Amino acid sequence: MNSRVLILTTLVLLIAVPAAAELEGDRVRLTGTVGHITFDAQEPWNSIDPTVLYGGAVGVKVNRWFGINSSIGYAFANGNFGWVEDGMGGFVKTDNSGKDVDVLHVGFDLSFHPLQGRIDPWVMAGWTWMRYYFEWDSAGFGDWLSENDAEYDLSDLRSATGWQFGIGCAFAILNTEHTSWSVMADFRDLMVKSNKLEIVDGSGEKVLEGKWGHNLLFNLGIEFSWGNYPAPTEEPNSPAYTGD
């Protein structure tokens, strides 16, 4: 084993093990986050530029090992949603110089916490939903749909659902008997698909459908938690010696 890895592992254990009794117990967690999100170019989108996602989370540690969490985030980005006829009755993607695209992310997950202490790592998995807010421009793509009697629902172009998977870790920097302040970081794969998106032309041929995309999110944040922290144990007073 690499000596640096061994030293780092030893230091983590030295910190985590003595602190294991400090943060045990059920508790509520409130977290404010700022993250960087990279969007996959899944259909119907050509692309959405990477940007900052502002958000937060509310979680409850239901027992020593598991938590239930909800999260929300909002991003201001630019994206491409352009299509032109290809001359053969179909259409191809094109760069439309970008549009303002606001993206709302909502998620629910279950987390597993293998350690209890000042260092609190976890793995998580759950459900996620993304909503895209943009100004619809019918040029090119919309005209093609009309000319070919293609059926579509604009709302299907604006939302996608799927699953999220990730890892995270919090480090407590300030503890009291019932509260804790921590710094945290997590990494998530927001794997979503426009499930209802299915565009069929007049001949019945499917010309466009939603595809799975992996949107990668890295968060940093501050977590405040409170709840059932055990009070410090006090040693009983020794009886006074009477000399008898």
Q: For position 211, what pLDDT does the model report?
A: 80
Question: Chain-centre distance of CA 174, in angstroms?
Answer: 25
Q: Is 238 contained in some domain?
A: no
How many Å apart are CA 56 and CA 219, to the nearest integer? 10
Q: For position 176, what pLDDT does the model report?
A: 83
Q: For position 29, what pLDDT does the model report?
A: 93
| pTM recorded for the entire structure | 0.74
The number of distinct structural domains making up the chain is 1
How many Å apart are CA 5 and CA 169, to the nearest integer? 18
**DSSP letter (8 states) at residue 202:** T
Residue 181, domain CATH: 2.40.160.20
How many Å apart are CA 182 and CA 180, to the nearest integer? 6
The owner of tokens 């090119």 is: 140
How many Å apart are CA 140 and CA 152, to the nearest integer? 15
Q: Is 185 contained in some domain?
A: yes
Q: Is 200 contained in some domain?
A: yes
Task: State both tokens at 36.
Answer: 């960087």
Q: Is 94 contained in some domain?
A: yes
Q: For position 13, what pLDDT does the model report?
A: 41
Write out the residue range of the structural domain in which residue 17 sits: 3-227
Please report, in tens digits, the pLDDT of each residue of the chain (244 residues total): 444 444 444 444 444 434 434 445 578 999 999 999 999 877 666 788 899 999 999 999 988 899 999 999 999 988 876 666 666 656 566 665 567 889 999 999 999 999 877 899 999 999 999 998 877 665 556 666 666 666 666 566 788 899 999 999 999 999 887 889 999 999 999 999 886 666 776 666 666 677 888 999 999 999 999 986 554 444 555 555 555 5
Q: Is 241 contained in some domain?
A: no
87 Rama sector, left if φ>0, alpha if ψ -120 to 50, beta otherwise? left
Task: State both tokens at 3.
Answer: 């000596």
**DSSP letter (8 states) at residue 18:** T
Q: Is 190 contained in some domain?
A: yes
Q: For position 96, what pLDDT does the model report?
A: 58
How many Å apart are CA 212 and CA 199, to the nearest integer? 16
How many Å apart are CA 53 and CA 217, to the nearest integer? 8
Q: Which residue, 37, 125, 20, 115, is CA-closest to 73? A: 37
* 3-state SS class at 234: coil
